[in-house]
Amino acid sequence: MGKTFFLTGTDTDAGKTVVACGLLEAARRNNLKTLALKPISAGCQPTVAGLRNDDALALMEAMTGELAYEQVNPVSTEPPIAPHIALEQSGRRVTIDRLAGYCRGALMHRSDFALIEGAGGWRVPVNSREMLSDLPKALGTPVILVVGMKLGCLNHARLTVEAILHDGLKLAGWVANCVQPEMAVYKENLETLKQLIPAPCLGEVPYLENPAKDTVADYLDVSALC
């Protein structure tokens, strides 16, 4: 049985999908069969086939396995807002049990390396009582954290790490992803993060105008995960 990880970020624009696609490509280069899921998404585009999310489509293009779109992204909403609000506005409701069921079904397809990408940060609500962070708890999956390198990332990263560990989950690794062309005292911030985060750094992704998975993978090392 392959390994499955839940991928989260320090914020909405931390670059989860960019890093996820890079990790999938890095795993493929190691001859691993890969799968990726985006259980819940917002900001989807209407198409003839139904709502489609750019992040979910990018994951489908990056993974080696083949799944129907509805298996990769079973819950989608059109407005680019918090998913639980978008669901409420459309008269829908989703639970962690349901999301976990979707994930388990999709993960029955054989893979060596699978990623479940979250939405937003760690404590994004799914409904009035549950948060998306309850999903990796239900599935028992270790977590990969994407740190969006910008002013404030030290606080965001530390709080997220504390929450992950408080939830009883293993932090398998983290990635420093540069979301701005330049960041003041970048090296000092990176070294501080390495001291603050009790998990291996899987790589540093520089600011890229075109963050294609092939390029991103060059900066990542999945050996600590595999």
| pLDDT for the residue numbered 1 | 60
Mean pLDDT of 83-95: 93
| pLDDT for the residue numbered 18 | 98
Residue bearing tokens 């985060």: 197
Mean pLDDT of 18-24: 98
Cβ(109)–Cβ(35) below 8 Å: yes
What share of the chain in percent tops pLDDT 90? 97
Six token digits for residue 220: 């990542």
The verdict on whether 38 is a catalytic residue reads yes
- Report the 10 Å Cβ neighbour count for 202: 25
| pLDDT for the residue numbered 2 | 85
Set 16, 38, 150, 213: catalytic member:
38
Nearest one of 193, 223, 36 to 118, comparing CA atoms: 36
Give per-residue pLDDT as tens, 100-131: 999 999 999 999 999 999 999 999 999 999 99
| CATH 3.90.1150.10 corresponds to the domain 3-217 | no
Structural domain spans, the chain? 3-217
